[in-house]
Amino acid sequence: MMNSNPTLITFAIYLVAMFAIGWLGYRATNNLSDYILGGRSLGSFVTALSAGASDMSGWLLMGLPAAVFLHGISEAWIAIGLTLGAWLNWRFVAGRLRVYTEKCSNALTLPEYFSRRFEDDNNILRIVTAVVILVFFTLYCASGVVAGARLFENMFGFSYQSALWIGALATIAYVLIGGFLAVSWTDTIQASLMFTALLMVPLMVIYDNGGVSTSLAFVESVKPSALQLVGNLNAVAIISLLGWGLGYFGQPHILVRFMAAESVNSIPAARRISMTWMILCLVGAVAVGFFGMVYFSNHPDQALVVNANPETVFIEASKLLFNPWLAGMFLAAILAAVMSTLSCQLLVCSSALTEDIYKTFLRKNATQRELVWIGRVMVLVISIIAIWLATNPESKVLKMVSYAWAGFGAAFGPVVLLSLLWSRINKSGALAGIIVGALTVLIWKQFEWFGLYEIIPGFIFSGVAAIIVSLLSAAPSDTMQITHEEYNQAFNDAA
């Protein structure tokens, strides 16, 4: 068994560094804009890596390798779908959203953007958007807590319940203190750590297997279907895996990174950096699962833990193939993936409660200092609910993520795209799109009709509802049309 002392020291150094950054973020936070959007000051590099890290949660190092380990290379369809979706999101949403949110009175959150974009004077759209965020993000946060608990449980032999609290508190602390700046700065470091781990671990697994050709020959002899990109998947299954890419257009924790970029001119460079990072990380995650099949087949005595829980394939490979100091650093990458996504999700939930509910309905004249502290309290509240949801030790990371991902993608994705690309969409259409998308996901998930991933019907029905209701109701006001024209002109001038 790997000596845990070097790993403990590595983890301790990593956590101290994250808390130190949290303290620096605290020193740089003067108002609510700083706390939830960093004062729109992120450069290309930080924007790119923080967007990637907040996107690729613990499922990248646990859920995806496990799926490939169990079923083979056919599970890579999800990586293909995500890559296409992410590129389209950077290409058609990032720069436009950065410009439009500034035109909409410097909107700080997605609910606030919708409210001002569609002149939602009675705040119905803001409320519905905030509720959808809270419902699905609480589940999303719970998935991050589960991933962190699995790591500490496996690494140090803690009980699941103890590991649950330790992993959650490690993240909550620096979000509570530092806000958006701390989250973005730590995301950049964590993205670099994830990249290094997903480069080194699969290379070492391949080396131990005797090389790529030897590994492929072994898989072909014992499980030839694992080498087939289609494998045992039917058309519906492939479409469902590719459908993950639709989720990008509606993920608040990713969209907020676009809103926080220092200018629209920084987006193209950020896109290139982010996509390079993402593709290499996805390839690494798929390689860990695929070549891990060979490695653990050759080491049956060491395969008991992985066979019992395939989501530990990256963890076990790191522990067995590297000395404790390096293994500790690579395993900290899992904690980095968990912390980067969970921290951003907590912050988005906090901003929805603080900016869109507390300030809008309860304390319109609240001071900036008061709002920052309310935001911190809301982080704590959401964290406690997420921990409670994650108390079931049978929870699976990828399953929880897929549900929340579908909810956001279907509810917000079509409305975000239409709000940026179609001047005719109005408040009624946006409201219909959000409600229909969210309800479709919630209902479809219960019945799993045709085995189709719920994001696909949810996205389609949401978009259709938004378009039809917009066309059947009154056209947008003159001021809304003028603002849209100004946004288009500003974006085109910057492009």
d(CA 432, CA 466): 6
Of 468, 104, 50, the closest CA to residue 96 belongs to 104
Retrieve residue 110's tokens.
């997605």
Distance of CA 198 to the CA centre of its chain: 17
d(CA 185, CA 171): 14
Other beta carbons within 10 Å of 125? 23
Tell me, yes or no, whether 408 lies in a domain: no
- What local confidence, expressed as pLDDT, does residue 452 receive? 95
Tell me, yes or no, whether 93 lies in a domain: yes
d(CA 188, CA 50): 5
Tell me, yes or no, whether 451 lies in a domain: no
Question: Are residues 89 and 254 in contact, defined by beta-carbon separation less than 8 angstroms?
Answer: yes
d(CA 153, CA 394): 13
Tell me, yes or no, whether 239 lies in a domain: yes
Question: Are residues 334 and 64 in contact, defined by beta-carbon separation less than 8 angstroms?
Answer: no
Question: Are residues 164 and 13 in contact, defined by beta-carbon separation less than 8 angstroms?
Answer: no
DSSP-derived letter for residue 355 is I
Q: What pLDDT digit, counting tens, does each position of 424-439 carry?
A: 999 999 999 999 999 9
Task: Please name the residue that has the structure tokens 């019907």.
Answer: 457
Neighbouring residues of 437: CB distance < 8 A, sequence distance ≥ 6: 250, 410, 411, 412, 413, 414, 415, 458, 459, 461, 462, 465
Question: Are residues 286 and 79 in contact, defined by beta-carbon separation less than 8 angstroms?
Answer: yes
Question: Are residues 338 and 167 in contact, defined by beta-carbon separation less than 8 angstroms?
Answer: yes
Reported pTM: 0.83
Question: Are residues 287 and 206 in contact, defined by beta-carbon separation less than 8 angstroms?
Answer: yes
d(CA 68, CA 293): 9
Question: Are residues 413 and 440 in contact, defined by beta-carbon separation less than 8 angstroms?
Answer: no
d(CA 192, CA 194): 5
Q: How many domains does the chain have?
A: 1
First to last CA, the chain: 56
Neighbouring residues of 468: CB distance < 8 A, sequence distance ≥ 6: 429, 432
Of 40, 25, 31, 36, the closest CA to residue 367 belongs to 31
In which domain, by residue range, is 374 found? Answer: 4-392
- What local confidence, expressed as pLDDT, does residue 388 receive? 82
Tell me, yes or no, whether 362 lies in a domain: yes
Please give the C-alpha separations between residue 138 and each of 47, 157, 381, in angstroms, as whole numbers: 24, 27, 10
Tell me, yes or no, whether 306 lies in a domain: yes
Kindly report the CATH number assigned to the domain that includes residue 189. Answer: 1.20.1730.10
Per-residue pLDDT of the chain (495 residues; tens, 9 = 90+): 445 577 778 777 877 777 776 666 656 556 555 555 555 556 677 677 766 666 676 678 888 898 899 888 998 999 999 999 999 999 999 999 999 998 888 877 788 899 999 999 888 898 898 888 888 877 777 777 777 787 777 777 788 888 888 877 776 765 666 555 556 666 677 677 778 888 888 899 898 888 889 888 888 887 888 888 887 788 999 999 999 999 999 988 888 888 877 888 889 998 999 899 999 989 999 999 999 888 888 888 778 878 888 888 888 888 888 888 888 877 777 776 676 666 666 777 777 777 777 777 777 777 777 777 777 777 777 778 778 877 776 655 556 678 888 999 999 999 999 999 999 999 999 999 999 999 999 999 888 898 999 999 999 999 999 999 999 999 999 999 999 999 999 998 886
- What local confidence, expressed as pLDDT, does residue 367 receive? 76
Tell me, yes or no, whether 344 lies in a domain: yes
Other beta carbons within 10 Å of 300? 9
Tell me, yes or no, whether 351 lies in a domain: yes
